[in-house]
Amino acid sequence: MMFKHFALTVLIITTNLIITGCAATTVNIYQVGEEKTLCDKKGKNLGYVAILPEVAWREDQKEPDKRKQMALEEIERSFNQIPCGTLSAPGGIREYANWSNKPESKLLQNFSQEGVDTVILIRIEELSPRLYITFSLPFLWGGTSEADFRIRALSVKSGAVLTDMRVKRFRGGPFNIRPAEWARKELSAALNDIVKNSE
């Protein structure tokens, strides 16, 4: 009986180690301009904000609809309490569309007529786990949860670019197995850093 209990304990510990392994977080930001956040300055006011989400998946993306929903949920959580603007009408989070394909001048004109002050385009390109294997000696394998997206904020009135960056955030490492659902945490953390929410 004691042996079975010991074996079960070892199995649980081993499983936890396999799932979590030795995890580390890496964030890469590629940006135009100096500001890495939307609400970094005291008294900054973006006014009525419209969030324009879109996706650009790779061809072999698994469960794209599930990932779109995950992304939308995290966008809503991050921006609903934006400290330097409001999503109240005429702002708000719009439906998924190919916003980047539309001429920027026309896009701003349309939102100006609606009374929106700032538009924020968020293009999700990756929201997935990844598994990698090294076949050289010593044999290694590992995994990461990844969020890769682009964000561009524009002043509707002036057309000024307030933020323009690509963000890649991933967490994992050797001997990690990371479920797809965990990728939402990386997207949430990255978006909150940009919005400057204090979650």
What is the per-residue pLDDT across 95-129, written as a single tens digit (0 to 9) for each? 999 999 999 999 999 999 999 999 999 999 999 87
Cis previous bond, 90, omega within 30: yes
How many structural domains does the chain have?
1
Q: What is the pLDDT of residue 56?
A: 94
Q: What is the pLDDT of residue 15?
A: 43
Q: What is the CATH number of the domain that holds 168?
A: 3.40.50
Q: 79 is in which domain, residue-wise?
A: 2-195
Q: What is the pLDDT of residue 136?
A: 66
CA dihedral 47, 147, 68, 143 (to 10 degrees): -160
pTM for the full predicted model = 0.81
Q: Which portions of the chain are predicted below pLDDT 70?
A: 1-21, 34, 131-139, 141, 173-175, 178, 197-199
- In 10 A of CB 36, how many CB atoms? 14
Q: What is the pLDDT of residue 174?
A: 66
Q: What is the pLDDT of residue 76?
A: 95
**Whether 56 contacts 124, CB under 8 Å:** yes
Cis previous bond, 138, omega within 30: yes
Q: What is the pLDDT of residue 31?
A: 85
